[in-house]
Structure 1
């Protein structure tokens, strides 16, 4: 990287950290530290909610996902706007009415302490894992591409987040999210227009989208009913809806964002703001990935975007075979550029027969190129089984470092690290809060003053920061990072959502039935995951992971109802629904 890139990167990160510490100095009460004083405006809430979900994984993995598989991943978010409406109408008024600090306080009031504790522990497990992954994601990729030490990056990112999260609590997270989202979106817009400017003069935005369409990258909607497909319209508005409803309605990392709202209306407006903008934002990030694909239709690309993978095979006994494959790849790229030029000319002449023939040629060349990439991955794995051959998460960072001008490289790296910090800060803030209030404070026999619990929350936040760094240091890639985080969430979220829905709408069901149902449901979900999803490669699963959210939610409600019914029958009590 050039000196100017280092300046842009360091200045951006330093500003965010010191701004967060400065703006939130002096938080001494639980109300200030955990709920941010309860005076956040709707735009702060909306941007903080968006930034919490938009981790570095979003900006590293999503463009790579679109590069390889097209825009279909956007269907994952189709359930989000509907989830926002439900949360605004049901969850937000209840949380504000009860004046809770955590979502799980409500469960003790409705059921009992053991149900509250179990649900809090389920949250801590899945969110603790996710916090480590959000640190690991940018670290592993920046380490491979820039040659930086992986463990040093994990520790550096973790420490930067811990500094302002521990010092300022919820308010520090919220106020820094605004700056982080600004940096993130500016960087993505710059990238989009830079790619557009590097395309051949006779290729307009419209032409580039037609090229993307010709290679099936713009296939957004899939109305198929095959539950094995990960991303369809139906899985998005059902499984995705349950996932988003649980994530935004019961996950403390998100609930804590809108509990800081000045009023119910401010919290609701912030969530609606997120619901309106989130899908277009994800659509645009995927579109950037498609534009990267278009860019490499005219420019040279590596057989594998992970430089560590390439180095592994080049320095092995397979180097000669890999070199021959690289020559074939370069020849295909020349054919591809010629085919793209023919397609563009056919578009300009509006010769539909020529357009179709050119499209078929492009698809055939891309199929041959994909086959060569598969062969390359096989060679790399044979050369070094420990190196990561799946390069989806390396596509965008490779493009940034090898093609963007000075200054913009530093800005985009700041985007990635800012996103990592924004998401991890929310997670650590929530983890520390839940541990301090739902476990530590609630299970103490004596009550201490506010300053003690603020100090305890800071201590637990620091502890979770250290745990997240440790998880990052031992983590590994899995297919695609953005999918890994959603898979982990899907294992737990349906169960947790069902517990909350039981609390809201099933007044006749008591704590013992819910507690037993939640434990049994989680066991069943683990069994489904390890038999129908985990043993199989991406696209070969027997069940799309998004369906776990709906299954878990329905299952815990049904089991709790049955347990309560059975208990009343044994006691010969009247059943009042």
Structure 2
């Protein structure tokens, strides 16, 4: 990075933080601080909801997902529009009528305090873990770029977000997210244009799509009923719908975004706006990753995109073996270039027969590429077990740093950091509000002023910000960061959603049955995920949302039918 990159990066981030802090000073009551005074228009609500979900992980991991696995991940979001419609029709009218500050307030109205507290605590556990990961993701980038200590970067990024989130509350988060989304949309559009511009002159966008298709990257829809397959139409429509219902309908980090809307109509339009735009946005981000794949059909790429991993193995006893592997990769990449050019000129020039089956050389060399990188990962694991050898989250940043002009490098880093700040700010804002409203204010017997509750909410927000930094400092890369966030959510979301669906639709079920069913269900889901993780059960983690929701509802109904008469209902 050069001075111009630092200037663009610094100006963009400082402007967002200063502007958000300046515009939202002086919240005098909890209504202003937690719900933003209910002044947000639908486009602010929609962009804020979208920015909360679109963390830095989205732009790092989704592009890496597109590079390695293609467009199939977009199926994960197929349930989103369905969830948005249900939330607009069921959740929002109830929340607005009761004038709740958090989603969990409603559960006390329907059930009792212990059920409300349990749902709030489950939210606090999963969201605090996710907040740490959203800080950790951009810290990885800057650590790779600058060579700075990862722990120091986690602390710096966390402090920056804490400053304006604690200062301005919900309104500060919503206002800054509009600027952040503008930066994100502009930056990703410029990156996409530059990727295509850097392809050989003879390769058009249509050619690029054809090459990606030959490399098995354009397989958008999978209608198979394989439960172990993470991304199919059915996991997206069923598991994805349940996940999105719980995330947008019961997760306070999202509920708080649309509760700031001016009225029910503005809230509903904001969510529908998000539902209409989210799938095209994710499709585009994946397509950026796929175009990076096409770019590297014509340009050499490293065995591993994590520079720390490469450095570690090159300074180990496995250096010669790694260099030999790198030469094999370069030879394979030369063959890739020839196959890609041939395919662009005439697809038949790139076709060969194998056991009577016609296949593309592009696909063959892509398979060889994958095999060589897998061997490279094994070498890295032996040379430096403490260094992360899974490099999906490094692909896009490697392309940015090595291929974009100066100035735009700073802008793209600002895109990723803006996404991290927007998502983390929403999470900390929701964590502080939930702790203050659902636990502290509800259980504290004294009578306090509005100013006291504003200050206590700020204090809890600061506390969760510090905890998120601690989580970030102790985190490590999973198979893929975006999958890790979704796994954490899936472990808790199905259970929470089931509690809310019971409260909305199963009127005869009361609090004791729901409370016991929720405790048992959470233990079952954690055990079930352990089985999935160790591959003793062939099941995708997305199905945990459906299973968790189904189990808690079934158990609550059975318990109520069996023992409900013993419960005194007021």
Number of the residue aligned with 2:340: 340
Instruction: For residues 300-342 of structure 1, give each alpha carbon's deviation from its aligned partner in whole angstroms, at most 9, with x where no partner exists.
Output: 1000000110011100011011111111111111111111111
Q: Distance in 2 between matches of 1:527 and 1:467?
A: 26
Q: Distance in 2 between matches of 1:568 and 1:368?
A: 62
Q: Is the 8 A contact 2:350 2:361 kept in 1?
A: no
Number of the residue aligned with 1:257: 257
Q: Distance in 2 between matches of 1:367 and 1:459?
A: 53
Q: Is the 8 A contact 2:184 2:415 kept in 1?
A: yes
Q: Distance in 2 between matches of 1:182 and 1:118?
A: 37
Q: Distance in 2 between matches of 1:247 and 1:366?
A: 36
Tell me if 1:554 matches 2:550.
Answer: yes
Q: Which runs of 5+ in 2 are unaligned?
A: 353-357
SS in 2 for 1:410: helix
Tell me if 1:354 matches 2:349.
Answer: yes
Tell me if 1:185 matches 2:180.
Answer: no
Q: Distance in 2 between matches of 1:17 and 1:471?
A: 23
Q: Distance in 2 between matches of 1:445 and 1:385?
A: 52
Number of the residue aligned with 1:535: 534
Alignment of 1:143-542 (within 5 A): 143-347=143-347, 353-357=348-352, 360-531=360-531, 533-536=532-535, 542=538
Q: Is the 8 A contact 1:145 1:308 kept in 2?
A: no
Number of the residue aligned with 1:350: none
Deviation at 1:144, TM superposition (A): 2.6
Deviation at 1:359, TM superposition (A): 5.8
Segment drifting more, 279-288 vs 338-347: 338-347
Deviation at 1:140, TM superposition (A): 2.0
* Aligned CA distance change for structure 1 residues 16 and 359 (closer, same or farther; 3 Å): farther
Number of the residue aligned with 2:355: none
SS in 1 for 2:413: helix
Q: Distance in 1 between matches of 2:237 and 2:96?
A: 28
Number of the residue aligned with 1:142: 142
Q: Is the 8 A contact 2:211 2:362 kept in 1?
A: no
Number of the residue aligned with 1:102: 102
Deviation at 1:354, TM superposition (A): 3.1
Q: Is the 8 A contact 1:187 1:412 kept in 2?
A: yes
Instruction: For residues 44-78 of structure 1, give each alpha carbon's deviation from its aligned partner in whole angstroms, at most 9, with x where no partner exists.
Output: 00000000000000011100011000110000000
Q: Is the 8 A contact 2:195 2:292 kept in 1?
A: yes
Taking structure 2 as the reference length, the TM-score comes to 0.97
Instruction: For residues 197-255 of structure 1, give each alpha carbon's deviation from its aligned partner in whole angstroms, at most 9, with x where no partner exists.
Output: 11111111011001101111010100000101111000000000000000000000000
Q: Distance in 2 between matches of 1:547 and 1:366?
A: 31
Deviation at 1:362, TM superposition (A): 1.3
Q: Distance in 2 between matches of 1:535 and 1:157?
A: 34
Q: Distance in 1 between matches of 2:143 and 2:273?
A: 36
Q: Distance in 2 between matches of 1:79 and 1:263?
A: 26
Instruction: For residues 331-388 of structure 1, give each alpha carbon's deviation from its aligned partner in whole angstroms, at most 9, with x where no partner exists.
Output: 11111111111111115xxxxx435349621111111111111111111111111111
Structure 1 stretches of 4+ with a deviation exceeding 6 A read none
Number of the residue aligned with 1:564: 560
Q: Is the 8 A contact 2:41 2:261 kept in 1?
A: yes
Q: Distance in 1 between matches of 2:290 and 2:360?
A: 19
How much is the aligned-residue C-alpha RMSD, in angstroms? Answer: 1.3
Q: Distance in 1 between matches of 2:72 and 2:534?
A: 24
Deviation at 1:284, TM superposition (A): 0.2
Deviation at 1:569, TM superposition (A): 5.7
SS in 2 for 1:434: helix
Q: Which runs of 5+ in 1 are unaligned?
A: 348-352
SS in 2 for 1:556: helix
* Aligned CA distance change for structure 1 residues 196 and 359 (closer, same or farther; 3 Å): farther
Number of the residue aligned with 1:545: 541
Q: Is the 8 A contact 1:120 1:434 kept in 2?
A: yes
Taking structure 1 as the reference length, the TM-score comes to 0.96
